[in-house]
Structure 1
Amino acid sequence: MKYKKIFLISPPFYSHFNPLLVLAKSFQAHGAEVTFGCSIEFKDKIVEENLNFYEIDINSNKNIGKGEHAAQPDTERMRLEEFFESTKKGAVETLITQSRHRKADMLYNPQKLIDQLKTIDESLDIDLYVVDILSYSVTLSLYFLELPFVTFCPPHPNTIPRDGRYFNVPKNWPQAITVEEEDLEKLKQVSTQTQREFTEVFNKIIAENKSIQPISNAFSLVSEIAVIYNYFDFNDNEKREENPKELFIGNSFEAVALDKEWMERIETEEKKIMISLGTFLSNRKDVLEKLILSARASHPDALLIVSAGSHAEALQKYSSPNTIIKGFIPQVALMPYVDTVVFHGGCNTLTEAMYHGKEMVILPFSSDQFNIAYDIEKQNLGRILDPNNFSQQQLATALSELEESPKDNLRYWQNVSRERGADYAVKEILETDSM
Structure 2
Amino acid sequence: MVNDQRLKIIFLAVDGVGHVNACVGLAQPLKKRGHDVIFLTNEFFAGTYEKYGFKEIVMKIARVKEIMEKNGNEKSDEHPCKAMSSIWKKFREDGALSGKPSIEKLNIFKIGGDNEAMNLMFESVKDQHPHLVDIIEKEKPDLIIMDQFVVPPCILFGKIPWAFLCSPCPRMLYETPDLPPRSSGYPSDDRTGWDEFEKMEEASTVGFIDGQNQINKEFGYSETSGKFTFISPYMNIYGYPEELDYSDTVTLPDNHIRVDAFCREANELFELPEEFKAKIKPGDKLIYLSMGSIGCYDIDLMKKLVKELSKSPHKFIISMGPASDQYQLADNMWGKAFLPQTNILPLVDMVITHGGNNTVTETFSFGKPMIVMPLFGDQYDNAQRILEKGYGSRMNPYYFKDGELNKTIDEIFSNEQIQQRCRKAGERIARANSKEKACEKIESIMAKLKISMNK
Aligned position for 1:356: 366
Contact persistence 1:9–1:131 (CA under 8 A): yes
Aligned position for 2:9: 6
Which segment drifts farther, 183-192 or 25-34? 183-192
Q: Does residue 252 of the first structure (1) align with residue 263 of the second (2)?
A: yes
Partner Cα separation in structure 1 for residue 96 and residue 260 of structure 2: 34
Contact persistence 2:168–2:357 (CA under 8 A): yes
Change (3 A) 1:49 1:326: closer
Contact persistence 2:44–2:83 (CA under 8 A): no
Change (3 A) 1:229 1:30: same
Report matched runs for 1:139-150 at 5 Å.
140-150=153-163
Which segment drifts farther, 21-30 or 305-314? 305-314
Change (3 A) 1:391 1:186: farther
Q: Which residues of structure 2 form unaligned runs of 5+?
A: 69-74, 449-455
Contact persistence 2:96–2:108 (CA under 8 A): no
SS at match of 1:18: helix
Partner Cα separation in structure 2 for residue 86 and residue 284 of structure 1: 7
Partner Cα separation in structure 1 for residue 310 and residue 96 of structure 2: 27
TM-score by length of 2: 0.79
CA displacement at 1:368 relative to structure 2: 0.7
Q: Which amino acid aligns with 1:216?
A: G
Q: Which amino acid aligns with 2:276?
A: R
Q: Does residue 411 of the first structure (1) align with residue 423 of the second (2)?
A: yes
Partner Cα separation in structure 2 for residue 77 and residue 323 of structure 1: 25
TM-score by length of 1: 0.83
Contact persistence 2:270–2:340 (CA under 8 A): no
Partner Cα separation in structure 2 for residue 167 and residue 147 of structure 1: 35
Report matched runs for 1:125-140 at 5 Å.
125-132=140-147, 134-138=148-152, 140=153
Aligned position for 1:262: 273
CA displacement at 1:93 relative to structure 2: 3.2
Change (3 A) 1:123 1:328: closer
Aligned position for 2:72: none
Contact persistence 1:67–1:279 (CA under 8 A): no
Change (3 A) 1:160 1:385: same
Q: C-alpha offsets along residues 158-195 of structure 1, whole Å, 9 cap, x if unaligned?
A: 234623799984254269xxx97898477436524423
Change (3 A) 1:379 1:87: same
| Among 416, 422, 426, the residue aligned to 2:435 | 422
Change (3 A) 1:237 1:67: farther
Q: Which amino acid aligns with 2:440?
A: K
Q: CA RMSD in A?
A: 3.6
Contact persistence 1:8–1:37 (CA under 8 A): yes
| Among 390, 397, 407, the residue aligned to 1:397 | 407
Partner Cα separation in structure 1 for residue 53 and residue 149 of structure 2: 24
Q: C-alpha offsets along residues 395-421 of structure 1, whole Å, 9 cap, x if unaligned?
A: 133212211221332223223432235
Change (3 A) 1:44 1:193: closer
Q: Percent identity?
A: 21
Q: Does residue 56 of the first structure (1) align with residue 59 of the second (2)?
A: yes
SS at match of 2:214: helix
Q: Which residues of structure 1 form unaligned runs of 5+?
A: none
Report matched runs for 1:35-434 at 5 Å.
35-56=38-59, 60=64, 66=79, 69-71=82-84, 76=87, 79-83=90-94, 87-100=98-111, 101=115, 103-108=118-123, 110-132=125-147, 134-138=148-152, 140-160=153-173, 162-163=175-176, 169-170=182-183, 172-173=185-186, 184=197, 187-188=200-201, 190-201=203-214, 204=217, 208=221, 214-217=224-227, 219-233=228-242, 234-236=245-247, 243-255=254-266, 259-262=270-273, 265-267=276-278, 268=280, 269=282, 270-297=284-311, 299=312, 301-316=313-328, 318-320=329-331, 322-405=332-415, 406=417, 407-418=419-430, 419-434=432-447
